[in-house]
Homo-oligomer: A and B are copies of this chain.
């Protein structure tokens, strides 16, 4: 099916929006009137630009408060419509959207509305234009799709049909099943938007918080199913008003948008991209660093040993138990200090995982390898993290491990077992995109988003995991786009005995994050501990949390560049990440850093 996006969903000048939409692979656009008014390009040039980019102009919406109004007002509206239809001819747009009136002048009179829409359709027909009438959720008298359709049906004009908008329909809680009663050829247009479930004024909700399908809580896929069963053949068009997208770069937003449509089409069996290949483990985390010594010091104190070196690249493999960290000092090392640059994910089918990712518009990375290296499939996540799909120690394909040559080493017993989770701070404008990416491209499941207070603002955090918890990635964003403190990333290492692991770390010269004594006084008030237990935690800076049945004990290393490590002990099936303790941890980390 053809896909389209409203220019209001993207940031920038009209030409930037068109370019972004085309690059992301959309077939068409809806042009939002203000974008055209603010553009220095005349309509003919906008049309030519779109044609050059391979975009059609699928919809234009220049009119408000058109129908069910007093005669004089309607005559003025027709005058305006005539101007706009002429403009649409210049643009090459053949469908106009008319939203139900919100004017205080509008009358609750379906016959009047139908009569006036018929006259409008007559005029439109002269210009070769179709009128798509849509119920706004906050329309003065017409606010439901079935009501809008009854008026269209009564008007009975070939150039008049209805436009359906998933937000307006689902936000009001209308039953979308009735859509199937509308003849498909009378559904002139379909606008799709999702939104987080929020109990708030629907107008504000619509204007500020819409998001792409799959990023919110509305059953957009269910609605699309009804529309397809009605026989709709027009484009799937995204119309999303979102304060964050307005500020974000248009390019990534357009890709995020089209990915959401691809997933929606897959869900509704309108498209069959390669199926997801869910990763079964975290094989390694790769740090890039311009300064290897502090990294080596922390890894060493954690019990990691340098076990192997890449045959052709300045990359070392450090291991402890099943936890593996690559330390890359090559030119890939970012100029802004030590950072987590790549993740190796164990994949049952690396090539299939890469095909899935590519089909869902993830940038496929060039294979940075020498001829002899194993062919590693890799894509970039929205935050730039490289994701490698690995097959470790299977006959086919060759293992990534084969690219490394053992160096003499001794791995001490440290109790670190494997990587429990990775925590990645996302670009501020791309939090929703990141969650959708990990869900759709990797086939992970997104948990609920939680707010976490740090002394200088609220963070949001959302984990994505596979079914058995062997892959856990915690995505977060800081309080504001400017917040430098929010760029931290961390690697959480699972241990069966966090007290022993923390002691070993400290004995080996590692520095643990200090936790205020007041925190432990509170723990004493909330829970009962064995004699001496709390004192041990206090001494080591171990934090404690509990959920139904399980407990979580964790502590943090100092930060190197943007990266720190966490030692975690999960018992009894604890499923969280210690979010309850995050404010204390964040405050302690802030305390060690100048702010602003």
Contacts and interface: CB of A to CB of B under 8 A. Distances in A.
Interface of A: 11-13, 16, 33-34, 36-43, 62, 79-80, 83-84, 87, 198-201, 204, 243, 246-247, 249, 453, 455-458, 479-483, 514, 516-519, 521-522, 524-526, 583-584, 586-588, 590-591, 595-596
Contacts of A41: 516, 518
Given A200-B200, A479-B243, A38 B525 contact: no
Contacts of A522: 33, 37, 62
A37 B519 contact: yes
A38 B457 contact: no
Given A36-B518, A517-B42, A201 B204 contact: no
Given A12-B455, A13-B587, A455-B12, A526 B80 contact: yes
Which of A33, A201, A482, A518 has the most chain B CB within a 10 Å cutoff? Answer: A518
Contact of A247 (B11, B33, B80, B479): B479
B12 A43 contact: no
Contact of A456 (B11, B36, B37, B596): B11
Contacts of A87: 521, 525
Contacts of A525: 62, 79-80, 83-84, 87
Nearest to A38: B587
A524 B457 contact: no
Contact of A457 (B62, B199, B243): B243
B201 A199 contact: yes
Given A11-B455, A39-B587, 12 more contacts: A11-B456, A11-B457, A13-B590, A34-B453, A38-B455, A38-B519, A40-B516, A41-B518, A200-B201, A246-B457, A247-B480, A481-B481
A454 B483 CA distance: 23
A41 B587 CA distance: 13
Nearest to A522: B37
Contacts of A480: 247, 480-482
